[in-house]
Amino acid sequence: MHDGIFRALADPTRRRILELLAKRDATAGEIAERFDIGFPAVSHHLAILRAANLVASTREGQFIRYRLNTTVFQQALHYLTTILKKSKD
């Protein structure tokens, strides 16, 4: 579970997408407008983020709106906190 999360977070473009979604939910088109890469590349990054469950999506007509899945962030933070606690013991 954590491997996919950390692989997804390893890419700076995906981290930037997550930063945008932390401010507000957005469609793929709205996200793509913020980058100098093509729409297919943004869609690819969103697919990786969805596969890692870092983002969730909802269909709105012909658009898909993306939002952060904060539960997965909490799980990852708990995992990292546990590691840090073990390193101090």
**Tell me, what's the pLDDT at 49?**
97
pLDDT in tens, 18-67: 999 999 999 999 999 999 999 999 999 999 999 999 999 999 999 999 99
Q: Computed over its alpha carbons, how large is the radius of gyration of the chain?
A: 14
Which architecture does CATH list for 2-88?
A: Orthogonal Bundle (1.10)
- pLDDT value at residue 1: 59
In a 13 Å sphere around the CA of 61, the CA atoms on its Cβ side amount to: 1
3-state helix, strand, coil in the chain (%, to 5): 65, 15, 20
What is d(CA 21, CA 43) in angstroms, rounded to the nearest whole number? 14
